[in-house]
Amino acid sequence: MKTTNPADWKGILVVGEITNCRLQPVSHELVGKALQLKQDCPAAGEVSVVLIGSGIAAAGKEMQTSGADELILVDHSQCALFHNDLYAAILKNIIEARKPSVVLFPATARYQDLASMLGIRLDTGVAAHCVDIRINETGDILAVVPAFGGKVLGDILCPAHRPQMATAKPGIFRPGEAKPGHTAKVSAFDAGGVIAETMGKTRLVALDAASCAVPEGIPLEKAPVVVCGGWGMGSKENWQLLGELAGMLGGAVGCTRPAIDEGWMPDESSMIGTSGKVIRPKVYIGAALSGSSHHVCGMKDSDLIISINNDPQAAIFEVSDIRVVGDAKQVLSALIERIRTIRSA
């Protein structure tokens, strides 16, 4: 298929993400950005959202008041689990039929894979991990992407091919405000034909109900307080102090890359930074981490940044509001003890 006549393409399509049966907040963030692009360039056309999954009526209802003009639901039992080949085939069908000029994806582990697969199948480019997206008066987008570990920002244009595709990580854009008075037009895409063509190699046999369980604790991206630890915490035993403090403050524990490598945190879902999450809590407390650019780009917009490091020259102090020079174990233990004393008084 030729995708070289931009004039034939119009509208902004957001690919929402459903994981473990739940609509992911990044879907609202991308809709917020899409609505802003539409406002900046009314000629860009309408904002549509596509949701793929099984039993997704509740997610659809939540999305209906997001301010998007249209909601396309792809609801099929074979779509219950993410399957890149199938999801890409469904989206290719929808995109070729509707010809949106812009398609936005979450830059999550699964959906960035989907975006790159679609880029190849649609013969167009994908601007990955955008930190901003702007639009001109004719509907051409300019995607801002960090390079060289975040030291420079590059502007990515896709002037000759359509759709113009971009991905953004959770937390990069602010979610659009719910518009209770506005209801998106809902349409259903019948995936039966695509499933029959695609599912020769892989087929969903059963779904473990446990995979739909709601994880315990406050999600990192929603926590008002994040207590983040780095390699300098030194041991799993010291690491417990972070959980204790976060629990006292009604917050969540985050980490840098080495904490996962050391096995102090179970997986990457708590990692903050370029390859992890972007957070903006009211209070961020960083203990025994250096402040590498890969980490800082994920937490620098926190309202109040408190850092503890035994090196007075640590780079994290450059972005901190309160700097504590000292041993993290001693400082955290003293802080926990102080809070305990105040609360029991």
Ligand X SMILES: Cc1cc2nc3c(=O)[nH]c(=O)nc-3n(C[C@H](O)[C@H](O)[C@H](O)COP(=O)(O)OP(=O)(O)OC[C@H]3O[C@@H](n4cnc5c(N)ncnc54)[C@H](O)[C@@H]3O)c2cc1C
Which CB, 41 or 332, lies closer to ligand X? Answer: 332
Contact 158, 141 (CB under 8 A): yes
CB of 322 to ligand X, least distance (A): 15
CB of 262 to ligand X, least distance (A): 9
Which CB, 5 or 235, lies closer to ligand X? Answer: 235
Residue 112 corresponds to which amino acid?
Q
Which CB, 184 or 296, lies closer to ligand X? Answer: 296
CB of 106 to ligand X, least distance (A): 16
CB of 196 to ligand X, least distance (A): 40
CA distances (Å), 93 to each of 31, 96, 100, 190, 338, in order? 21, 5, 12, 11, 60
Which CB, 69 or 327, lies closer to ligand X? Answer: 327
Residues 153, 159, 162: CA angle, nearest 5 degrees: 110
Q: Going by C-beta distance under 8 Å and a sequence separation of 6 or more, which residues neighbour residue 77? A: 54, 204
Contact 288, 311 (CB under 8 A): no
Nearest alpha carbon to residue 21 among 278, 183, 215: 215
Contact 290, 230 (CB under 8 A): yes
CA distances (Å), 15 to each of 34, 232, 315, in order? 11, 39, 37
Which CB, 14 or 308, lies closer to ligand X? Answer: 308
Which CB, 147 or 188, lies closer to ligand X? Answer: 147
Q: Find the length of the chain.
A: 345
CB of 336 to ligand X, least distance (A): 15
Contact 302, 325 (CB under 8 A): no
CB of 71 to ligand X, least distance (A): 32
CB of 263 to ligand X, least distance (A): 14
- CB burial of 229-238 (b: ≥16 within 10 Å; e: otherwise) equals bbbbbbeeeb
Q: Going by C-beta distance under 8 Å and a sequence separation of 6 or more, which residues neighbour residue 117? A: 84, 85, 88
Which CB, 67 or 291, lies closer to ligand X? Answer: 291
Which CB, 141 or 289, lies closer to ligand X? Answer: 289
Which CB, 197 or 311, lies closer to ligand X? Answer: 311
What are the residues binding ligand X (CB under 6 A)?
A: 230-232, 256-258, 271-276, 288-290, 292, 294-295, 308-311, 314, 327-328
CB of 235 to ligand X, least distance (A): 10
Report which secondary-structure segment, H or E, holds 71.
Answer: strand 70-75
Contact 144, 109 (CB under 8 A): no
CB of 274 to ligand X, least distance (A): 4
Q: Going by C-beta distance under 8 Å and a sequence separation of 6 or more, which residues neighbour residue 39? A: none
